[in-house]
A and B are shown apart, each in its own frame.
Chain A
Amino acid sequence: MNARLARLCKRGDQEVSLFRLYVMRAVALLGVWGLFPTIQTLAAHAPMDRGVHKALIGGLWVMAIFALRYPLKMVPILLFEMVWKTVWLLAFGLPQWWSGVGSPRLSEDLWSIGVFPVVVALVIPWGYVWRHYVTASGERWR
């Protein structure tokens, strides 16, 4: 049992541990499942709906499907999730919360957006990101 657990959690000579891959896939699955109600509204929306928000969610949904199969290759999408939600929190969520003057959907958004940078930060394999996106040499220039 302990050996099996160790094999699950140890990275060994792999890029990330199997446990990490399952956590990443779980988040992708959560995305596919959680965003699906928005996907359904794409087929039936108000005629004058601007739709940019829903379309962005639709794009993320497609990417989440790729992430089920290739969690590591789709890391840029997790980074994107963390970055945009952090931007929202710093530029919109927190200032509005502190000032007491905010958008009508502030409390809902604080839960559905503001909490996620922390969740995503726990899911992202930072060692992998460090090796492949920060210290890695740039792709060919010549």
Chain B
Amino acid sequence: MASTAASVSTAAASRAGDGVPLWRLYVLRAAYLLLVVGLGAMIVPIVVSHEPTARGVIPSLLCGLWLLSFVGLKLPLRMLPLLMFEFAWKTVWLLAFGLPQWFSGQQPPTFAEDMFNIAFGVILMPLVIPWGYVWRNYVKAPADRWR
């Protein structure tokens, strides 16, 4: 029993060729699943049924994120740019809009809801993203060929 548990935990910690332990792939898949379920519940009703004059840019962007999260369940590492994008735009929002509006006290009516959803992402994404893998593959790796 103990040896089974030990071998399971060894398997979870072992890294394949991508240098990412198995538990990390599960964490990533859990994040995509959270997007599939949480973002889906929030965004699909808005896309399906909305005011005839709604501009629809934000719901469409989020709906695109939702649809591609399904691919992330199958290919969590290959779809990392999607999570990097999540982290990037939410950080941009927090720095350029969220925090300044928080401190100034001048806030749009949607502020509380946006702050909760976006700050959650800014805290969660850095914990989920395998930064070593990102560093090796998206920074240090040789660029795709130029000639």
Interface residues of A (CB under 8 A from B): 14, 18, 21, 42-43, 45, 47-56, 58-60, 62-63, 66, 69-77, 79-81, 83-85, 87-88, 91-93, 95-96, 99, 101-105, 109, 113, 132-133, 136, 138-142
Q: Is the CB of A76 within 8 A of B82?
A: yes
CB pair A132 B85 closer than 8 Å: no
Given A47-B100, A62-B88, A101-B52, 17 more A-B residue pairs with CB atoms under 8 Å apart are A21-B145, A52-B58, A53-B61, A59-B86, A60-B85, A74-B81, A75-B81, A76-B82, A79-B68, A80-B65, A84-B60, A84-B63, A88-B56, A91-B56, A92-B60, A101-B53, A140-B25
User: Whole-angstrom distance between the alpha carbons of A66 and B139 in the complex?
Assistant: 8
In the complex, are the beta carbons of A87 and B85 less than 8 A apart? no
CA A72 to CA B63, docked complex, whole Å: 23
Partner of A139, one of B57, B78, B86, B92: B78
Mask for B125-147, Cβ within 8 A of A = 1, else 0?
00000000000011001011111
> Which B residues touch A76, using CB under 8 A?
68, 71, 78-82
Instruction: Give the number of A-B contacts (CB < 8 Å).
Output: 175
Q: Which residues of A contact B76 (CB under 8 A)?
A: 139
- Asked if A48 and B93 sit within 8 Å, CB to CB, the answer is no
